[in-house]
Every structure is written in structure tokens, then in C-alpha cells.
Structure 1
Amino acid sequence: MLEQVQRYYGETLTGSHDLRTDACCDGAAVPEALKPLLADIHPEVSERYYGCGLVAPDALEGLRVLDLGCGAGRDVYLLSRLVGEQGEVVGVDMTAAQLAVAERHRAYHAERYGYARSNVRFVEGRIEALGALGLPAGGFDLIVSNCVLNLSPDKAAVLAGAYQLLAPGGEFYFADVYADRRLPAALAEDPVLYGECLAGALYWADFLSLARAAGFTDPRLVDARPLAIDDTQVAEKVAPARFCSATYRLFKVEGLDPGAEDHGQTVTYRGDLSGYPDNWSLDRDRRFPTGHAVAVSANSYRILRASRFSRAFAFDAGAGAHRGPFPGVSDANPFTTAIACTTGSCC
């Protein structure tokens, strides 16, 4: 299966125009502030982009970042710009042809960004075996991945490896493709279905179980969009399953509850995260207007306090007494959001 993926991305695909689904994110959905940064990336790198979302969360200055399945390096070079010269971005991929493209443009991007030296490096290897790559345990503040987890034959190993490599309070922020049901195993034998990120897609509820088993107790859905399959042959093979592209964020924070619990805690957003003077969102359900105390679950309180976002908030622990379940929290089903987004882009 891994060899099949290597052939598809190293030989079959020559660029994103060869893809047979709309897995790649619509450029119109990219925030205006990121468009000039993406335009600065070398054309050969951009042409070999096969992502399904945007893995550039907020507050990245100075972070140590790992990109799982980095391919030709588009996200690595975007993140290189966002973390700044004092930050670091490491890309891991198993496809030598993709890494060759990424490697030959390191100097180009360092010069383009005005850096004295490149702040990126690339490692060839399997994301299912991160412990064998010499990467430091607890050595990364942020791990990202863009439409790669579905291609892995051992998704539990990827999630467990990511958890081990994250520093306490760190985050795994990634976009991927999910199915609305468990798919027949036979579909994985089709190189096109697998290479197009369909046959290896997890049933979303199974993903949540795997994430929690790896230590990510409270997966948070950021956004989702329906995935169209314009190729009739491909659509017929996977019918009646539906697919969506979804972005989740998983935090390495100890002491989280299995569910949302209410302890009377509030947080107040200060308004100083770059680009978000009026409000900021942690995920699909949690938006924080500047200067307003907002009641949060115990998990949200702990996540915000333990993560890099703590500097942007004031915290009030309240009386601490348990009040029961926290009200108004939806599940992390991406299809709920994807259905609501059919009239526009939610990438």
C-alpha cells in the first residue's frame, strides 16, 4: 500500500491538475493575508500541492513545527514564513521524488524571506514510524498534516507518534478527508481511489476514537466542507458513501475530561492575536469577542491555559464547583458542518 502511494504521488501525478476530485482547497477560501505569502512560494513547489485544507493556525511566531507528509513542501515554506527566522519547520515524507522538489528550493525561500539561513529541513521516512527518524520527543510546539492521514495504513501509529513528539500544551492541527461510514476494505486495492484520498478515508467517528486512544482526549473540529467527485467512474465506485474535507485540532493537555463539564469558569480574550482584533475562534463552536468574559467548559479552560494562546486571555476559575455537563456543545461530526457549507466554501 505504501509503495502504491509513492508511485501515485511520485510518478502518476505531475501536478495538482491531475487530481480527479476537488480535494484541493479552493483558492478563494484562503485568507487575504496569506495569499501574498502563498504567491511567494516557488512555482514548482506550488504546482505539486495536494492538500485538502489550510494548515496555518494562529500565533506561530517562533514555534517549532513538524509537517507530516510534507510532499514538495508548500506548507513547510508557508509555515517557514509564519514562524519567522527564529522558528523551525521540519517536513517528513516517504516519497523521494517529492522531497527532491522541496530540497532544491530551500535557498530560494530563505533568500526570498530575507533569512540569513534556511529555517527548514526535510527528513525522508514514514509517518507511521516517527520514533525511528531521530526527531526529539516533546520537541515540537505544533504538528500539521494536510490530506495525508487517510493515506496511512496505520493511522493509530501516526496519532500516537504525533502525541509523543508534541511538547506539553502542543497542538496537532491537520486537514484530512473523512467518510460518513466505514468503507469496504476492497476499495483500498484501487490505486486511484486510494491515491485520491478516498479509499483510505476514516469514518469520522472511528477517527475520534483513535485520537482519544492516542491521548488527544478532546478533539476539536475547526471546519469542514463537502468533497465533490466529478469523475463519474470514481463516484460510482465509492457510492453511496459521502466524503468531506475537515480540519481538526488536537491538543496535548493533561487532565481533560471525556466530555464537556461546567465548573463555572470564564475566559476573556484580550484581542491581541495578530489579525483578530475583534474576536477569535478556538474551533467551530467557540468564538471569543474581545473584552467579553465567556463561559467555557473545563476542557476549553485547560486547553487555553496550557497552550500558546494563554497570553491572549485572562482567566477566571470561578468557584470551581462542578455544575454538570456544559451546555450547548455539539459533537465533532464534520458532516454536520459540511452540509451547512454546501452553499459556499468552508475550507
Structure 2
Amino acid sequence: MSVSSEITDSVKKYYGEKLQTSDDLQTTACTTPAQRMPKHILESIKLVHDEVVSKYYGCGLVVPECLEGMKVLDLGSGSGRDCYAIAKLVGSNGFVTGIDMTDEQLKVANKYIDYHQKLFKYPEPNTTFVKGYIENLKDAGIGDESIDIIVSNCVINLCKDKKRVLEEAYRVLKYGGELYFSDVYADQELSDEIRQHEVLWGECVSGALHWQTLYNLAKEIGFEVPRVVTCSSLEITKPDLKEVVGDARFASVVYRLFKTHKDSNREITQVVYNGSITGCENEFKLDRHTTFPEGKPVIVSGRTLAILQNSRFKEDFLYKSAPCCATVAEIKEEDPFVILASADSKKLNNGAQCCGSKCC
């Protein structure tokens, strides 16, 4: 049996048999830190059946903006919590597909399709779940350029071949589409002892990429530069697990990656947000550096312009020529551990509180 197959079987067993509810987790990796949610997202999550929620594991909030009418794919959908919350937000004209490899999780997810259809008062279900592997979406029936948005909640790290996962995501996304996902990252290359630890694999630690590797893979595959939405530190407090990881540090990061046409207009441009995105009427935050207040002109870089004009956000902005002297910095690679250190420093200096545990 290959190393990849051994890891897959170990993860299946961990999430299908060992974990019965989120209370069985041994680290904070697969729990979502407290954070503010827009009202419409909070209300949609509250509608999800209790059993689905009790078997949910994730390290971030992966519900992006502007979902109405979208076709969404959830990689590693588990019990279906995120799928059902998003199914409410895409509306009866949108559709959500969840893919997972674990029979026990899929059984729970499929159990409540009709329940949520009736609760949402849709004429027919707008959610389906398929068994498959996220590094091989073709065998699961996901066609080329068929998906508007991909989400994934702390699952990519559980797969050995992460490059293949990202390549498949790129293949199935439409141009202008987005991969919006949370995952766990390390501040260093991990030792073989960590990589081979069965519990730490199941807890989303052993499979963590070095954060720099994500940027390298995204560039190689063709995505725009990954945009950091939020990040939070991951604490490992259980003594025996802490001894294994040593001085390695881990962070949960929500990124957004866009697939754009390479010949897109990439000039510095002035844009004005029209306030039309549900839940973001006063301002729209694309990433931790880029915020668009409603009605106020903002100068954007060529990369940001390419994202806006290629994506579902295109009609939410007016576009004007930038002043001849305008300059703006391009979004570059960001070390999440530097972000967290800076956030901690600010808290020490001014006592500010963030929306989650050591999050930014």
C-alpha cells in the first residue's frame, strides 16, 4: 500500500469511526474560532439540523460573499454543515455539491437533504453529496469549468497530494471563479515524526503545508496570488502531542484564490463599490488589506482589477480611469505568523480585542 493510500485510509477511519462529535477532537485545529458573522450567514447556519452541526469539523468560516444563484462545490463536505448553510444563501436558482470520501459522514449529510429543502421552501433540493476524492474530481463527475465557487473547510491538509487538489480545483472552476478555503499551515517544514503521526494527521496538523508552499503552488498552477482573509493561531495543548510537534507552530488561515484570464486588463484603476452585495451594503472587504466603502472611490492594482472584472463581483463596481499620478501596492505573499505576531503586538500596545482567539 502506498503512503498516500495509508494516509487516506487513516483519515477515513479517524473521521468515520473515531470521531463521533466535535467533542472528541484532541486539538483546536478542527474547530472554528469565534468570529463575527454577517447576519444573513449567521441565520443560515442556525437553520442547519443539529445532528449535522454536531458532526461538523472545520477551522474557519468558508461562506464567501455574493452567493445568489451560484454553483458551489464543497471539498471534503463531511456532514454537510457548510453545504446546507450555503444552500440557503445561493437560493433555489443556485446549487451546492458536497464531495467527501467518508461513508459515515455522507450518511449524515444525505439524511437531511429533504429536511432542508422543505425548511428553505424550495421547489426541489438544491444540494447533493457525492462520494469521491478531492484530488480526483473528474471521477466524481465534476466537469471542466462547471463551478462558480469552491469552498473547503480544513480538509486540503488531510490530502497527501495537495498540488493535485489545487490543479483539480483550477480545472473545474469557471474563469472568474474562486477557491475560498480555510486550512492549517506550518511555519517550517515538518519532521517525519510529525508527518507519520496518525492522530496529528486526523487533527489536521501532520498534513499542514509550509505557508510559502501554497504561494508557490498557486503561481505554478495559474491562480492569482492568494489573498489572506483571516488567520488565527492553532494551539496544541495536550502534552504528548505538544512533545511531538516540538517548536513547530501552526496557523489556521482563510485564503481566497481566483482564476482569471491572463490577458485581463491589469492597469491601475479607480473603482467605486455600489453597495449591492448582500450583507456588505456599507463596505465590501476582499481581503485583509483591501476594503471598498460604499460610494467612495478606491484606487486598485492591476491584480485586484483583474479579480473584480473577471469574477461575480464585476457588476458591483463602477470603473474609472485612475489619476495619472496614482500608485498602489500589489498584494504580495504574506507570512501568517508575521501577521499573528503583529496582531499580538498591537493588542499588547493598545488592548484591542479581535473577533476570535488570536485571530486577524
Query: Who is 2:139 aligned against?
Result: 132
Structure 1, unaligned runs of 5 or more: none
Q: Of 152, 172, 176, which residue of structure 2 is paired with 1:169? A: 176
1:12 aligned onto 2:18: yes
Deviates more, 1:56-65 or 1:110-119: 110-119
Query: Who is 1:298 aligned against?
Result: 302
- The 3-state SS of whatever aligns with 2:334 is coil
**Deviation of 1:318 (Å):** 4.1
**1:101-120 map, 5 Å:** 101-120=108-127
1:286 aligned onto 2:290: yes
**Amino acid in structure 2 at the alignment position of 1:210:** L
TM-score (norm 2): 0.90
Query: Who is 1:3 aligned against?
Result: 9
**Deviation of 1:213 (Å):** 1.3
Query: Who is 2:220 aligned against?
Result: 213
Distance 1:169 1:177, change over 3 A: same
1:192 aligned onto 2:194: no
**Deviation of 1:166 (Å):** 0.3
Distance across 2 between alignment mates of 1:169 and 1:262: 14
The answer to whether the 8 A contact 1:270-1:313 is kept is: yes
Query: Who is 2:257 aligned against?
Result: 250
Query: Who is 1:277 aligned against?
Result: 281
**1:40-79 map, 5 Å:** 40-79=47-86
Distance across 1 between alignment mates of 2:243 and 2:341: 21
Distance across 1 between alignment mates of 2:332 and 2:138: 35
**Deviation of 1:265 (Å):** 1.4
Distance across 2 between alignment mates of 1:138 and 1:18: 38
**Amino acid in structure 1 at the alignment position of 2:282:** D
Query: Who is 2:28 aligned against?
Result: 22
Q: Report % sequence identity.
A: 41
Deviates more, 1:139-148 or 1:261-270: 261-270
Distance across 2 between alignment mates of 1:326 and 1:33: 33
Matched length: 342
**Deviation of 1:131 (Å):** 1.8
Query: Who is 1:335 aligned against?
Result: 337
Distance across 1 between alignment mates of 2:145 and 2:330: 34
Query: Who is 1:152 aligned against?
Result: 159
The answer to whether the 8 A contact 1:266-1:301 is kept is: no
**Deviation of 1:40 (Å):** 1.3
- The 3-state SS of whatever aligns with 1:250 is strand
Distance across 2 between alignment mates of 1:301 and 1:85: 30
Structure 2, unaligned runs of 5 or more: 1-6, 345-352
The answer to whether the 8 A contact 1:169-1:303 is kept is: yes
Query: Who is 2:240 aligned against?
Result: 233
The answer to whether the 8 A contact 1:223-1:334 is kept is: no
RMSD, aligned α-carbons: 2.1
